[in-house]
Structures are given as C-alpha cells and as structure tokens.
Amino acid sequence: MSISATVISVSLISTALAVLVVLADRIFNNYGECEIDINNGTRKFKVDGGSTLLATLASQQIFIPSACGGKATCGLCKVRMAGDAGVVLPTEEPYLTEDEKANGVRLACQLKVKQDMQLHIPEELFSVKEYKARVEKITQLTHDIKEFRFTLLGPKQIEFRAGQYMQIETRPYDNVREIVTRAYSMASLPSDNQAIELIVRLVPGGICTTFMHDHVKEGDTLILRGPFGDFYLHEGADELLFIAGGSGLAPVKSIIFDVLEKGLDKKMTLFFGAVTKKDLYYVDLFQQLADKHENFNYVPALSGPEPEDNWQGETGLITEVMKRHVADPHNKQAYLCGSPGMINACVKVLEGIGLREDSIFYDKF
Amino acid sequence: MGESPAISPFVILLASIFTSNMVLANFLGMCSFISVSSEFKTASGLGKAVTLVMVFTTMINWLVYRFIVLPLGLEYLRYIIFIMVIAATVQIIEMAMDRYLPELHMKLGIFLPLITVNCSILGISLFMVIRNYNLLQSLFFGIGSGLGWWLAISALAAIREKMAKSRLPKGLDGPAITFITTGIMALAFVGFSGIFVIQ
C-alpha cells in the first residue's frame, strides 16, 4: 500500500481520537460554575471548574508563588483551604507537614476546582501581577554578576515595597526544555515604578541563571511575576544594619535608597562581604552615597584579598568585621541577604551581640 | 479475521493468570514491574490500575480492529493504531474516573499515565488479534492477563518487602536481586504449565 494512504489513515485515526479526547474533556471535565471565596469574602468570583486551583487563580490575576509550573516538584504553591477540599493526594504528601495537613493546607497546583471553594492566602498576593517586560540594559557588575534593567510593557507600572522580589519565567534553551520560574530581588526603587532592576549571579549549572547570563539579550521580552516576599523595612528601630553577600545586595540597595529618598530619620550601615576585589560591585555608588549622607555608612569587607588588590579596607569574614563595628544592640534592626551559610553565621553573631530575634530580618537564597 | 479458536473463555481466563502470565511467561511490562514493586501497597495499586486498563483497552481495540482496521485493510498499521487507542483510552478513563469515582481516582490516578507505556497492555491487544479471539474470549483474556499481572507484581512486592531486611551480597541489592527473584518466580509458575494451554 502506498505511503500516502498510510499517512492519511494514521492522521485520520489520530484526529478522530483527539476529537474523542476533547469531547471527553468537555463532558467529564465540566464541573459547571464554581464560586471561589478568598479570605472570607475579600475576593469572590465565579469560574468554570475543571482546572487546577493554581491555574484558576492565575486566570483571575492572582498569582500564587510557584517555581515548577504545577508539577508538584517545588512545593511552593501552598494555600490554606477553609472548607472541605477532599483528601490530600499522594503527589502532595511529600510537601506537607502534619500540622499543615491538619490545617487544611494544600498544593494549589494539584487541587482541582470541582466545587465551591473557600481559601485563605496572604493579603499581599492580591497585588501580585504578571508583567511583560523588555530587557533595556544589561550591565556586567563583576565576573559572574549581571544587572538587568527591564522596562515594563504591560502593565506599565508596578507598586512594591523596597526589598521584595519578582519571579522570572525562563524560556527553553539548548538542551533545557523545561520552563522554570526563579525569584530575584528588585534592586530598583519603588519610585522608579515603570522599570525593574534585578541582579543575577551566575550559578554553574543553574537553569535560570545560565538562561539570564547566556541567552537573554538587550531588547528581549520576558515574563515577570510579583512582587512577592516580606523582606522590607519594618518599624521599630532607628539604627539599621544591612549585611549582604553576592547578589544579596539587590534588595538591600533598594531599601537603603528608599529610606534616603523618603528622608526617614534612620542611621544605616551597610556591610558587604566578598572574597576578593573582583567580587565587589556598586563600590563607587555606595561610597558616593556615604560621602553625601551623614547617616549612611558603607563597609565593604574582603575575606581573602589578593596581593594585587592592594586592599586598604576591612578584611576578614563578614561576621568578624560586623563584630568589630557593632557593640550595642539597643534600638537596632538587622537586614540580611545572602547565602544560607552567611545568614546563619551572621544571625548567630547578632544574637550574641544581643539583638532580639524579632529585629533580625533575612532573605535566604 | 480468521476463525476464532474453540477455547472456553474461562480457560483463557485461568491460563492468562497462571500458565501464560503476562510477566512471568511472556516477560512483558517489565519496566514498571521492576521499578514499582518495592512496596506492596503501591504495587497492588498499580496492578489494579493495569487490570482496569487492560479490560477496557482489549475491548476497545477489539472493536476498532474488527470494525475499522480489518474493513479498511490497515492490519499492517495495527501497532501504531493500538498504541494511539490505548493512549486515548487511558486519558478518557482518567477523566471519567476523576469525575465519577473520585475515591478510586485518588488511589489509582497517579498510575494511569504510567500505564499508557506499559508494553503488556499493547501486548495483549496484539496477542488477541494474532490468536483470533472473539469478543468474549478477548474480554476474559483481558481480565485474566490483568489479574495475572496484578498477582505477579503483588507477589514480587511482598517478597521484596521481606527481602528489604535481609543482608544481600554487595552489588546484588536493587534491580539485580529483583531480576533474579523474577526468574525464580517464573520457574515456580512453570509448575502450572500443562494445566491450561492457550497459544
């Protein structure tokens, strides 16, 4: 039999099967109109059932943080269900603690909307939106850190608190076929509300950082979601200590500039830890800021300066440098952003100095 | 389609469970048989899901073969047609189950997508047309093969659960000892041979 007859038969049969599957989807997956009630009536809307809660909420412009795109591999999209939402699925088991299960916490990407649902999500997620953004400028800050400045194409403005983060959605590249979302803190100011600046350090083998460093060019358009996170300025102290490492400078920069711009009466010190001089960035920016503002101090520190660095500043681990500068815990808050190792060590030292747990804020990555 | 063999459907049922077991006599569906057999509960769940899908797909594939493939002379395409029908059937079963039998879907749901690529499912559809079974014989063949697969994977999982606590020579742990165990189980099933014969 000729090849064309074969091709036609196979195509016809597969089309028929596809039609059947679509029909079945229409019939079986039709759960009618369901009402979703968020935070006891704060937001109420009717949707067509049948999709996952994560996708349903996204269709209503409510974005629950999720890094895996709904495959139950990141465990981030937790929501608390108020009413009965059925039994916990085997795919959710590994990500929920006993406490969470008892409190009705579920993974939004696994839970299907089949009936009216009542749930609770943090208020701040209501302001999370999906943005289309064009890469305006890429600046190489150090050998492995780049700054990306985006112009927002739609929506054209963003409202956020200094210190919060956005999620970037990658596109498939090279051998990486999956799409991932990763979080990066905003380095830009809330007043600069038509643009976003993110700082990305290249992690060897990292899906998103490799994408950002090697595949994103100026002029590209990306999808960003946010703002997320509770790492922002909190009330309660007049003296602020900022401790950052690597790309952790992003949210800290945003907070410091925000405080100065708003003219808040705060005394601020920024400790930035790096290994050698080539790992430092924004040095001139912060130096000038320190020269201009009496209430801002800048302390860059190198843990292992090379002889050719001719380093005159502070040396040693950031924890030791901090110990030398901070003695009195009174009226102080600390904001930490960097690797978990650095943060854990710093929290220990700060608590040793006498800072209370509730005046230490951090963003681990 | 030629003349169907004169075998009682009941004999086909028993034979496909014991003497012509899908896994232990034909060695089909080995990938999930080896990889999803470390826990009895999960293995048994997969076994049930396989049985369910086998019954549905043999029936649908039989009808498709008899009323579409044969009249159109597409026998040479039966592999690809069976695979497509199986994939679509599994999808539709999953949707219907999620809707009408949520409890069952909770237990078997995660196995269903796995089963699409289980070669024993394709295997019985092909055996059924090669052996010229009629609709009733195919139904019992599907039920029997499913039960046989369920029995085999449950037995293996039970053995592996016991074995998990025993000290194995280095290097044998994992798939190696599982293959050896499967072989011994197959030998044991040879003991049934001759009681029922289907070919």
**pLDDT category, A42, cuts 50, 70, 90?**
confident
Give the model confidence (pLDDT) of A11-27 as tens digits: 988 899 999 999 988 88
Chosen for mutation from A12, A13, A92, A93 (greatest number of chain B CBs closer than 10 Å) is A13
The answer to whether A28 contacts B99, with C-beta atoms less than 8 Å apart, is: yes
d(CA A242, CA A185) in angstroms, rounded, equals: 15
Q: What average pLDDT score do residues B48-54 get?
A: 89
| Spatial CA neighbour of B27 closest among B120, B139, B134 | B120
Residue linked to tokens 């395409």: B77
Strand intervals (E) in chain A: 33-38, 43-48, 78-81, 105-107, 117-120, 129-140, 145-154, 165-169, 181-185, 195-201, 221-228, 239-245, 267-274, 296-302, 314-315, 332-338, 360-364
- Is there a contact between A21 and B68 if contact means CB atoms under 8 Å apart? no
Q: How do residues A261-281 score in pLDDT, each as one tens digit?
A: 888 888 999 999 899 988 899
Question: How large a percentage of chain B has pLDDT more than 70?
Answer: 98
Q: What is the pLDDT of residues A139-155, one digit of tens each?
A: 999 999 999 999 999 88
* pLDDT tens profile B106-144: 777 778 877 877 888 999 999 999 999 999 999 999 999
Q: Which residues pair with A314 in a beta bridge?
A: A301
Amino acid present at A317:
L
pLDDT tens by residue, A68-85: 767 777 788 888 998 777
Q: Has the ipTM of the complex gone over 0.95?
A: no
Taking CB atoms and an 8 Å cutoff, what residues of chain B touch A28? 92, 95-96, 98-100
Q: Given an 8 Å threshold on Cβ–Cβ distance, is B84 in contact with A21?
A: no
Question: Is A89 in contact with B106 (Cβ distance < 8 A)?
Answer: yes
pLDDT, position B32: 84
Model confidence band, residue A1 (pLDDT cutoffs 50, 70, 90) = low
Contact yes or no for B88 and A90 at CB 8 A: no
How large a percentage of chain A has pLDDT more than 90? 28
B contact set with A (CB within 8 A)? 68, 72-74, 76-77, 80-81, 84-85, 87-88, 91-92, 95-96, 98-100, 102, 106, 109-110
- The CA distance from A357 to A334, in Å, is 10
Q: Convert the pLDDT of each residue in B12-38 to its tens digit.
A: 999 999 988 888 988 888 888 888 888
Can you give the pLDDT at residue A365?
62
Residues in chain B: 199
Q: What is the mean pLDDT of residues A51-76?
A: 82
How many other β-carbons are positioned within 10 Å of the β-carbon of residue A55? 15
Q: Do the chains contact at B92 and A91, CB–CB below 8 Å? A: no
Nearest to A14 among B72, B84, B95 (CB): B84
What's the rounded Cα separation, in Å, for the pair B152 and A357? 57
Instruction: Give the residue with greater pLDDT, B199 vs B131.
Output: B131
Nearest-by-Cβ selection for B77 from A6, A18, A21: A6
Q: Nearest-CA residue of chain A relative to B99?
A: A28
Contacts 24+ apart (CB under 8 A), A305-310: A305/A276, A305/A277, A306/A276, A306/A277, A309/A276, A309/A277
Distance CA A201, CA A245 (A): 11
- Say which of A20, A90, A112 has its CB closest to residue B88: A20
Name the pLDDT band for B199 (thresholds 50, 70, 90).
low
Q: What are phi and psi of A193, to 5 degrees?
A: -85, 5
- C-alpha to C-alpha distances, A67 to A90, A180, B28, nearest whole angstrom: 20, 6, 38
What are phi and psi for residue A181, nearest 5 degrees?
-120, 135
CA A254 to CA B106: how far, in whole Å? 47
Predicted confidence at residue A52, as pLDDT, reads 87
How confident is the model at residue A236, as a pLDDT? 81
Under the banding of pLDDT at 50, 70 and 90, the label for residue A237 is confident
Best to test chain A binding among B63, B79, B80, B104 (most A CBs inside 10 Å): B80
CB–CB contact B106 A6 (8 Å)? no
This prediction's pTM: 0.60
Output the pLDDT for position B115. 81
